[in-house]
Structure 1
């Protein structure tokens, strides 16, 4: 197989034993159909980063806006800004939990992927949940316990994933 890139290919992984359930109280959700051990890679998802103005001018006016992630980028002057990204794969199907999250996620800004990993053992029948950070587009049912910033959540996830 010929590769048209000088960069090494990125292995895409997905854990077996997952199902998508359409009619949960939170809408669609990803559930374990078998036990998943801690530190298991749940999914490696490619990302499409939107232009800095694209999200405001277009995406925020559609239902797709509820599925975008904050994504750090540099503007034309080299300043760090926050854009939005669409995560393909299961990444856009995980529901939010402020304090019962069992899946952590880490951005790879260079490879434009997000890796999701089990933070602890996940039991069969359990919903897989991540933290969305502070930019919620809905009323957070877990709002009584809330990390203060998305960066703190990223740091927590990074520590737990190592």
Structure 2
């Protein structure tokens, strides 16, 4: 069985995180995750559940989405080492390395959507 590029691990005082099982080069695709979309009516119900913490906006609609795979588990960092792109044709989220990620390093994304965006995140507590 082929070893996967990434794995999930518990982080003390932070929950879970996604880590590199090997070195991942800048520009390399880390993961392609399918999306489950839901309507605004469904979103209203989801906002009352734990899934609300894992919802991504789907930019060209008023709907939301949940990203499968490890997509909804990547932790936030202002100085992230990965980024995500929405692929509207395939209804997938594509995660790519924005710098070299070393084996054993946590893979993080900037929840603002841009690796260089340092605006304060106010909808959850940023833990280090």
Name the TM-score class by shorter chain.
Answer: 0.7 to 0.9
- Where structure 2 has 5 or more consecutive residues not aligned to the other structure, the ranges are 113-119
The range that moved more, 41-50 or 130-139, is 130-139
Q: What is the alpha-carbon distance in structure 2 between the residues aligned to residue 84 and residue 135 of structure 1?
A: 19
Q: Which structure has greater strand proportion?
A: 2
Q: For residues 1-162 of structure 1, what are the structure 2 equivalents within 5 Å?
A: 16-56=4-44, 58-73=45-60, 81-98=61-78, 100-133=79-112, 137-141=123-127
Partner secondary structure for residue 34 of structure 1: coil
Looking at CA atoms only, which structure, 1 or 2, has the larger radius of gyration? 1
Cα pair distance change 1:137/1:63, threshold 3 Å: farther
Encode CA deviations 1:63-91: one digit per residue, 9 max, x unaligned: 01100101134xxxxxxx43210100110
Question: What RMSD, in angstroms, separates the aligned Cα atoms of the two structures?
Answer: 2.1
Q: TM-score, normalised by structure 2?
A: 0.82
Q: What is the alpha-carbon distance in structure 2 between the residues aligned to residue 120 and residue 55 of structure 1?
A: 34
- Where structure 1 has 5 or more consecutive residues not aligned to the other structure, the ranges are 1-14, 74-80, 143-162
Higher relative contact order (CA 8 A, sep 6+): 2
Q: TM-score, normalised by structure 1?
A: 0.66
CA contact (8 A) 1:71 1:85 kept: yes
Count of matched residue positions in the alignment of Structure 1 and Structure 2: 119
CA contact (8 A) 1:18 1:33 kept: yes
